A and B are shown apart, each in its own frame.
Chain A
Amino acid sequence: MVQGIIQGTIKKDELPGAPLEDKADIQHLIDDLFGEISKTTRTKIQKDILLGSLRDGRLRVIFPFQVKFYIEEGKIVAEAVEINEFGFGNNWSEALADLQRAIAELFITLEKEKKRLGVDLKRVQKILQEKIVKR
């Protein structure tokens, strides 16, 4: 199976016994796996950090975000995996600063729109509320 995935021979229709509603997720997973190996130039950097500040005077992080780094198209991408948010830049600190700005913006936007959030964004907002407080 693993060899099949790496060689790109497995097809969506051949997913073994997957319920219909899971197929999109499984396809997404396989696609991501292909992406790591061959389709994109995204390369994981073996250095994760815990982000404990947003450099935003309005907000304080009380539980840190796990951040993973990738190189993509020659840029550094910093990703807060739990909330599926990212930042990028020419170097680590630029990418991290961009991510911090994006998380702060996301927190404030989701707070404003909390009555209108769909399932996934409700989940994201819940995580943000657990990790961030207003000063």
Chain B
Amino acid sequence: MTIKAHEFDRVISKFEFKTRDSGDLLAWFEYRGKIITRTRRSKGSGELPMQHSIRQQMKLNENQLKDAIKCTLGKKEYIEILRQKGLIK
């Protein structure tokens, strides 16, 4: 599967990642004041070549990322995934 830039933006917006522009778009997920995960994407509007790396950084597997893109996996479920992986308590 591939992920397009606008799909990436939709996912990080839905999960309420904070973002910063530093040449690339940097995004990080905070929970109760702690920074839990981070990722980034290059500028541009096409398909992103690093979907494997992006989802690794977001701690999602391929099916979960697909669900996030389809909007069937929301922030609440994302938090639960991170909790199951021991990344948040």
Q: Mark A63-98, 1 if CB is under 8 A from B, else 0.
A: 000000010111101010000101010000000001
Quick one: which of B24-48 are within 8 Å of A by CB?
24, 26, 30-31, 33-38, 40, 42, 47-48
A34–B84 alpha-carbon span in the complex (Å)? 21
For B38, the closest partner residue in chain A by CB is: A121
A14 on the B face (CB < 8 A): no
Given contacts A84-B57, A105-B22, is CB(A25)–CB(B85) below 8 Å? yes
A24 on the B face (CB < 8 A): yes
Q: How many residues of A contact B (CB 8 A)?
A: 37
Check if A118 sits within 8 Å of B52, measured CB to CB.
no
A33–B51 alpha-carbon span in the complex (Å)? 15
B53 on the A face (CB < 8 A): yes
Check if A77 sits within 8 Å of B61, measured CB to CB.
no
User: CB within 8 A of A79: which of B23, B37, B53, B59?
Assistant: B53
- Please give the residue numbers on chain A whose beta carbons come within 8 Å of chain B beta carbons, in ascending order: 20-21, 23-25, 27-28, 31-32, 34-35, 39-40, 42, 70, 72-75, 77, 79, 84, 86, 88, 98, 101-102, 105-106, 109, 113, 116-121
